[in-house]
Amino acid sequence: MLHWRRFMKRSEAIFGIIRIPLDALAVWSALLLSYQLRASNIDLLPGTQLLEPSLSLPALPYYISSFVVPSMLVFILASAILGLYALRATMSAWRELGLIGIATVVWLVIVIAWYFLVLKQLFFSRALLFQAFFFLFLIAATQRMLLTLIQRFLLRSGIGKMLVVSIGSQPLVQSALDTLQFDSHYTYLGHLRNVSELSTLEEKQEIDLVIQTDPAPQSQETIVLIEYCRSHHLGYGFLPPVLADVPHLLVVEALGLLPLVRLQPTPLDGWGRIAKRVFDILLSLTLCVLFLPLFLFLTLCILVESGWPILYVSKRVGQHGRKCVNVLKFRSMKQSADQEKEALQAFNHRKDGPLFKMKDDPRVTPLGKILRRWSLDEVPQLLNVLRGDMSLVGPRPHLTQEVALYSPQQRRVFAVKPGISGLAQVSGRSDLGFVDEVRLDLKYIEEWSLLLDLWILWRTAFAVLLRKGAD
C-alpha cells in the first residue's frame, strides 16, 4: 500500500517531467516535417502549388545541428519561463493551450531576431519557418491535450490526487470548499478543530496538505500547528480570511527574499492600465472624427436657441478622489441653472443617496431635452478621455458636494478614472438606486477586463437607442 501511495505521489512529477522531452519531440517533428515539405516542393494545401521551389535549403545534417537542436533548447527555455513544466499540474487546459501559443510566438521571434539582427542574413526559407510555426503549435498543443486527458483519467481513478484537510475554529470559505470537493486534483478529508484531531487522522490516513482557516502569527495554536506540520513532513498552507471575497485581486510577489501577499484595488493596476489607456485613445479619436459633423451641427443649434456658452463645464471628482476634473457637456440647461438648483432640492426624486435627479427639470431647454434623451450632451466628454481625465468606461463622475456624503466604502469607486459610460449606466441608467449604482461600479472596478469594457460599450449603444432611463 505504501509503495502504491508513493507511485501516486510520483505520478504528478512524472507528468511534469515528461512534458520536456515531448516538447523537444514537437520541435524536432515540426522542423523536419517543414524541411521535407520544402525540399519536396509540397505546399500545405494538397494539389496546389503556391510557392516556388526552394533553392536555398541547407543539407539536412547541417540543418539539424545548426537550427533544429538550438530551436529545441529555445522552445523548452521559453516554455519553462512561462511555467509550462510545473510539477503541480493545476492549470486549466485552455490556459495551458494559450501559453503554448505564446511560447511558439516567442520561439519564432527569437529565430527571426537571431538571423536578422545577429547573423545579419536571411533565413533559409521563410515558407519553411512559418510552416514550422504552424506545425510546432499544432503538435505541441495536441501532445499536451492528450497528456492532460490521460492525467485527468488517472486523477478520476485516484492516482495523483492531493489529500487535503482544513483546520481551525473557522470553517473553510465556500469557494475553497467547492474547489476541494469538486476539483479532480484534490481529495478533501474534512475539517478538523485542532492539532490533536490532526494527529489522530494522520495515524489512519496519509495527508499531503493542511490548510489553516484562522491563522494568527502570534497565537499558540498557529505556532504548534506549523511546528507539527514541519516535523511530520506535511504541507502547510493558510487562506487569508479577510481577503477571501476578492481572491482575484491578490498578488504574490517578492519582498527581498520573502514572499509578500499584496492586495491590488483593481486588475487595472500594471499592464491593464496601459491597455485601457491605449484602447481609450484609439477609440475616442475614431469617435471624434466620426462625430465631428454632429459636433458642429449641435454647436450651431445651441447657438441659435440660447447663445453662448456652447459647453457646460462641470467640476467633478476624478480618480483617487484627490482632484477635480472639468467634465465637458453640451449645455442643455438655462445659463442660470446652477443658481436655481437649491430651490429645486425638494423635487429630487433620488432619495436613496446624495445624487440630485429631477423629473421634468424646468431648467432644461427644449433642445436640451433632445440632447439628454439621446445622451448627445455627453459627446464632448470624448475630449476629456483624450486628455486623460476620464475613460470611455468607468464609474460616472459625481459632484464634490455629493462625494462629501459618501461612506468610506462608497469612496472605493475612485480607484479608477470616471467614465462616460459604465456598468451601472447599462444596468438601469438613472432608474437605478444609488446603492445599486455604487455596487455595480465596485463590481466593475474589481472585475475589470477589456472584454468587459467592450461589452459595456456595446450595451451603451442599445441603451441610448432605446432611450432607457435617460433623464
User: Domain containing 184 — which CATH number?
Assistant: 3.40.50.2300
- Measured distance CA(61)–CA(22) in Å, rounded: 22
Say what percent of the chain tops pLDDT 90.
8
User: What are the start-end ranges of the H helices in 114-219?
Assistant: 126-156, 174-182, 195-204
Residue 412 and residue 311 share a domain: yes
306 Cα distance to chain centroid: 47
Grid coordinates given for 425: 449606466
The domain boundary, picked from 245, 260, 281, lies at 245
Convert the pLDDT of each residue in 52-78 to its tens digit: 445 567 788 888 888 889 999 999 999
Split into its structural domains, the chain has a count of 3
Query: Are 276 and 424 within one domain?
Result: yes
Residue 261 domain flag: no
Predicted confidence at residue 7, as pLDDT, reads 45
437 and 337 share a domain?
yes
| Helices and strands of the chain, counted as H and E runs | 15, 10
Domain that holds residue 220: 162-245
pLDDT at 56: 64
pLDDT computed for residue 5 by the predictor: 47
Average of per-residue pLDDT values in the chain: 78
- Indicate whether 316 pLDDT > 60: yes
Mean pLDDT of 35-55: 60
Residues 378 and 421 in one domain: yes
* Domain-located, residue 318: yes
Q: What digits encode the pLDDT tens for the residues 81-91?
A: 888 887 665 66
Question: Is the pLDDT assigned to residue 99 strictly greater than 80?
Answer: yes
Indicate whether 58 and 199 sit together in one domain.
no
What does the CA dihedral 382, 387, 393, 395 come to, rounded to 10 degrees?
-110
- Whether residue 58 is contained in a domain is answered as yes
Q: Is residue 90 part of a domain?
A: yes
pLDDT-derived band at 295, boundaries 50, 70, 90: confident
pTM of the model: 0.56
Is 89 among the domain residues? yes
